[in-house]
Amino acid sequence: MSRLAARAAAMLHGIDVAAQGPRRIGKLVSYDGLMMEATGFNQPIGSAARVIDADGHAARAEVVGFRGPRTLLMALDHDAPHTAGARVEPDGQGGSVNVGPELLGRVMDALGNPLDGLGAIGGGHRWPLAGRMGNPLDRGRVTTAFDMGVRAVNALLTAGVGQRIAICAGSGVGKSVLMGQMIAGADADVIVVGLVGERSREVTDFLATKLSGPVRQKSVVVAVPADHPPLLRLRAAMRATAIAEYFREAGLKVLLLIDSLTRVAHAQREIGLSLGEPPTMKGYPPSALGLIPRIVERAGADARTGGSITALYTVLADGDDTDDPIVDTARAIVDGHIILSRSLAEQGVFPAIDVGKSLSRVMADIVPPAHQQAAASLRRLWSVYEENRDLILMGAYREGSDPVIDEAIRRHGEVLEFIKQGQKERIDLHDSSTMLAQGFGR
């Protein structure tokens, strides 16, 4: 087609060719295995690009920065056979994602491509990948309880509609299992799951065991395994959050789960160090720690539409260190945190929730005083036992010395039984509150 004919066709479809201006085509001049540099490609950060080699092979990339007149891009494809002088050209809308009811029941990657073999994924709307900047006064208060289906959470760490919760633990302590229990028991219109940096086997297992049956039809899953480039892992969390924001804008009650926030920060660390950022605590550059509030603050209740995003973020505590920079940053920005204990898991207590170290910052606003008093009573028994654990186990404590410690020792088994719950068992909010009042109320 001649240039004149192409212009006529564009005008026929309502495209203003003059307004579009020339299409900028760049040239690849440097590639070190992760970061690419191109000349003549002046595109804003976040723009999508295609790198086309002499043999016609095209690979995807994204603009992440610039250095003088050179544009810095990060590859989105594995082991692409790039060559010096390859053509770099714009590639559509990189800063927004397809959203819509058509996404329900589907599994996709970070770029929106289907992974479930059910054909192309539609979506009649676009939503900014990085979200829309909102007025803080439009954020609704958390005043309504959100039923998680887990007795210890419902009774002792009561969640609210629009709350952001971090689940912190070391590896293999049961974060994903607890998330699965919450998904099965959650009272939500839509469930959006972001599986970031997981093993491929765990993605399959998660879909088969935790999103099976009717729950699957109201769920959207964005999955990017651990062996994918860091930019894709980062985009997976951003895409999952953007999808949740769209459904919240429609007035729905959304449950968002990101597993795990630590691996999102690891991806940003790789990107930041490649861009030359200085490493700070434990090698994390400032952008990695700054990314966590930007993601977490996008969740919450919307006072305008009545919709909400109740969010759960798993946080991996490296070496069971709960003072890890990522754990500490996440804990400071969320509305509550659940700490899982390896010692409880080793005793066969699942979910292995450390009641003393866990907290819901909105619980006082959403439960009646009697419920709060019963929860405080159980917490007191837990903390007294933990404070005197060494004395008790060594036999150095003499019964009768302190009636509070005596009660904590006598009822420690009851406390552990209250926390325990089978993986397939669901206990709703009302039953959890009733059992708490009967066992530990005054």
In a domain, 13, yes or no: no
Phi, psi of 191, rounded to the nearest 5 degrees: -120, 125
Residue 260, preceding bond cis, omega within 30 degrees? yes
Among the listed residues 122, 116, 79, 118, the one whose alpha carbon sits nearest the alpha carbon of residue 97: 122
Q: Cα separation of 167 and 46, whole Å?
A: 30
In a domain, 8, yes or no: no
Which domain does 414 fall in, by range? 371-440
Are both 181 and 259 inside the same structural domain?
yes
Are both 114 and 198 inside the same structural domain?
yes
Q: Cα separation of 350 and 176, whole Å?
A: 12
Are both 312 and 380 inside the same structural domain?
no
Return the CA Rg of the chain.
25
Are both 40 and 138 inside the same structural domain?
no
Are both 181 and 319 inside the same structural domain?
yes
Boundary-marking domain end, from 30, 57, 90: 90
Are both 183 and 202 inside the same structural domain?
yes
Q: Mind listing the pLDDT tens digit of every residue in the chain (442 residues)?
A: 444 444 444 433 444 444 455 667 899 999 887 789 999 999 888 888 999 988 888 888 999 989 999 999 998 876 778 888 999 999 876 678 999 999 999 999 998 999 998 999 987 899 998 898 888 899 999 999 999 999 999 999 999 999 999 999 988 888 888 988 898 888 899 999 999 988 888 888 888 888 888 899 999 999 999 888 899 999 999 999 999 999 999 999 999 999 989 999 999 999 999 888 999 888 899 999 999 999 999 999 999 999 999 999 999 987 777 788 999 999 999 999 999 999 999 998 999 999 999 999 999 999 999 999 999 999 999 999 999 998 988 888 888 899 999 999 999 999 999 999 998 899 999 999 999 999 998 7
Phi, psi of 47, rounded to the nearest 5 degrees: -70, 145
Are both 222 and 254 inside the same structural domain?
yes
Residue 229, preceding bond cis, omega within 30 degrees? no
CATH number at residue 395: 1.20.1270.330
Are both 111 and 83 inside the same structural domain?
no
Q: Alpha carbon of 173 to those of 14, 192, 317: distances in Å?
A: 57, 23, 11
Q: Residues near 338 by Cβ (< 8 Å), separated by ≥ 6?
A: 153, 157, 165, 166, 167, 168, 178, 353, 358
Are both 121 and 249 inside the same structural domain?
yes
In a domain, 386, yes or no: yes
Boundary-marking domain end, from 322, 338, 364: 364
In a domain, 113, yes or no: yes
Are both 246 and 333 inside the same structural domain?
yes
In a domain, 3, yes or no: no
In a domain, 4, yes or no: no
Q: Residues near 43 by Cβ (< 8 Å), separated by ≥ 6?
A: 24, 49, 63, 71, 90
Are both 117 and 68 inside the same structural domain?
no
Are both 194 and 82 inside the same structural domain?
no
Boundary-marking domain end, from 364, 394, 419: 364
Number of domains the chain contains: 3
Torsion of CA 130, 180, 362, 380, to 10 degrees: -140
The string of DSSP letters for 220-283 reads EEEEEETTS-HHHHHHHHHHHHHHHHHHHHTT-EEEEEEE-HHHHHHHHHHHHHHTTPPP-GGG
In a domain, 9, yes or no: no
